Structure 1
Amino acid sequence: MSLMRIQKPKTRKGKVALLEREPKVIENIKNVLILEGRKVSVTVKELLKDICTFKKPNCKTLSRNNDITPFEDQNPLEILAKKSDCHLFIFGSHSKKRPDNIVMGRVYDDQILDMIEFGVKQYKALKDFKNEKIDVNCKPCLVFNGDQWSKSEELRRIKSLFVDMFHVEDVESIRLQGIEHVISFTLTEDLTIMIRSYKILLKKSGLQTPRIELTEIGPSIDFSIRRTKIASKDLYKLAHKKPAELKVTKKKNVSRDALGNVNARVHIDKQVINKLQLRKMKGLKKTAEEKKTARQLKKAASKEN
């Protein structure tokens, strides 16, 4: 196993680059490494190119062919992902045994966490759809159709992998006009994954809410599941562990209503009003007659005792 040599940064720019790669409380957007095997078909080349179009600028493409077999030896792939600072990868290859082959996976702690191999059953490229496309870096709306996604642990991991692959960034709010792109994932009974891409068109409806129409913009892909290599439950749980700073701690006696207003309950000790220290004002001072009466009552009480 070959290890990458670790060098100390000699410039300020190099130090900043290394700090960007270190773990953070709020992680950066995951980059995707797109690379080709020693032999690639035209279909796989076009598919990788279309995925790169959707993932720009959060993707890195290697131009030369790579003699890599991920399921036999994953070490070269892990080294390339570490050098490129990518936590996701898509590897395309073609052979007589596995034609039009796509391998998708993700990396955790510089090691491959999950890896799924797909076969391309049907593909229609982005350029074959002669209509208006979406803008670059547009946040897609991911829709998963079918009740098969939760039938097994492998299918749940594939769904999670697609979310990681096509997710851009977390946002607290978004305007209606900002939702322009929909990616649909449909899982059929024979475990064929149908991926379709649509552009959202907002039409006038005569009401405050517009009428929505979908126009397919491509690409159109049908995947068959070939081989899978998923992480153990313990490693998968460790990879999804949230830092303590991001965990929401419940505060005692503090609650929120439906409108988001904060309601708090404060507990205080019982107050003795007679012993409160008030400001010494002339109007609050006892008169001479009140002082005399108080002294007489005090003397009478002492005689009785």
Structure 2
Amino acid sequence: MQRVVKPKTQRGKRFLQEREAKIFENPKKTMFVKGGNTSQTVTQMLKELYQLKKDNAVMYKRKNIMRPFEDETQLEFFSQRCDASLFMFGSHSKKRPNNIVIGRLFDHHILDMIELGIENFKSMFDIEGAKCSAGTKPCMMFVGEQFDIEPDYIRLKNLFADFFRGVVIKQIRLQGLEHVIMITAAEGKIYLRNYKILLKKSGSKTPRIELDDMGPSVDFSVRRTKIASDDLYRRSLKQPKNAKVKKRKNISRDAFGSQLGRIHMQKQDLDNLQTRKMKGLKRGNPNKDATSSPNKKSKQSTEES
């Protein structure tokens, strides 16, 4: 049974309220964990990916002896401690050199885990050029048929998108697009590349776009996978009814983003349309004129007599 914690102070009460389930959840936090034995390559890659996700990430600098595929309890404990739902674990051994495990949790329990091996790594400090600012929301590109065909690669694509997407936003300006993450699947390997977007003059209002390699660049090979069942995965995707945006009828947007509305009205009777009252434009009543004409004639006859 789960232990119910009752707050004793106002600070503890606010802390527990932040951990409660919300209709619109906070941005997902990522844990970067070092294993009992790590190489320089693994440590450097964890540090640089942490720099890209610094606003919503936690870096554990101490070594933690664990094996995620054999025992998940320690990772789940770290998840409850720092309220994180994504993790990246790095280790190094003779059997699995330069090993990376990337995964996510649902309700502080392991949902998906995929083990990747680093075959080639190039640090961002080995590449000259400007770097994007920390916390920038990236544009993501997935290249390769395997991301749409094979089940493991489909889940890996979804996991990478969940890992790097950052804060959910509604609008973004053109100058705010600085970072591109390109993930390619080819010949049984996965290539991760990071580019900086350069906006240059083109002689028109639309700038010319160039991509400059900024690193880190990593070549992965898939080793082991642990994917959640369809029922559990479907349950993790459920949303409350209040979070779903209802479709508004008769409202659309044009190519420029302007909101347009369609109004349905009954057919109007233009004969009874109220206009400005003027004596010269006032219509006469034919029935009234017919009844009043004999009286006028009799009045004229009395005057003549």
TM-score range, shorter-chain basis? 0.7 to 0.9
Alpha-carbon distance in structure 1 between the residues aligned to 2:73 and 2:67:
10
Q: Which structure 1 residue ranges, 5 or more long, are not aligned? A: 269-289, 294-305
Query: Is 1:256 aligned with 2:235?
Result: no
Q: Is the 8 A contact 1:39 1:65 kept in 2?
A: yes
Give distance in 1, aligned partners of 2:83 and 2:70: 23
TM-score (norm 1): 0.83
Pairwise CA RMSD: 2.3
Instruction: Classify the secondary structure of the residue corresponding to 1:104.
Output: strand
Give the distance between the partners of 2:266 and 2:62, measured in 1 at CA: 69
Paired residue for 2:106? 108
Map of 1:73 onto structure 2: 71
Identity percentage over the alignment? 46
Deviation at 1:238, TM superposition (A): 1.1
Distance 1:104 1:4 in 2: 27
Matches within 5 A, 1:180-259: 180-188=178-186, 190-250=187-247, 254-256=250-252, 258=254, 259=258
For residues 1-305 of structure 1, the aligned pairs below 5 Å read: 6-188=4-186, 190-250=187-247, 254-256=250-252, 258=254, 259-265=258-264
Per the alignment, in what secondary structure is the counterpart of residue 262 of structure 2? strand
Q: Deviations over 1:58-82 (max 9, x none)?
A: 1111121111110011111111111
CA displacement at 1:7 relative to structure 2: 3.0
Q: Partners of 1:147 and 1:267 in 2: how far apart? A: 54
Shift of 1:266: 6.2
Secondary structure of 1:162's match? helix
Deviation digits for residues 155-213 of structure 1, max 9, x if unmatched?
1110011011111112111111110111110110x221100101111000001110011
Deviations 1:79-135 (A, max 9, x none): 111111100000000111100000000000111110000000100112111221111
CA 18–267 in structure 1, closer or farther in 2 if over 3 Å, else same: farther
Letter matched to residue 9 of structure 1:
P
SS in 1 for 2:146: coil
Name the CA distance, whole Å, in 2 between partners of 1:251 and 1:260: 12
Q: How many residues of Structure 1 are paired with residues of Structure 2 in the alignment?
A: 271
The equivalent of 1:298 in structure 2 is: none
Greater Rg over alpha carbons, structure: 2
Q: Which moved more, 1:130-139 or 1:92-101?
A: 130-139
Who is 2:302 aligned against?
none
The aligned amino acid for 1:20 is E
Deviation at 1:243, TM superposition (A): 1.4
Distance apart, 1:27 and its partner CA: 0.7
Question: Is the 8 Å Cα contact of residues 87 and 104 (structure 2) preserved in structure 1?
Answer: yes
Query: How far apart are residue 267 of structure 1 and its match?
Result: 7.8
For 2:173, give the aligned amino acid.
R
User: Tell me, what secondary structure is at the counterpart of 2:190?
Assistant: strand
1:60, 1:102 → 2: CA distance? 17
- Matched position secondary structure for 1:261: strand
Shift of 1:241: 1.3
CA contact (8 A) 1:255 1:264 kept: no
Give the letter aligned to residue 174 of structure 1.
I
Q: Which amino acid aligns with 1:211?
A: R
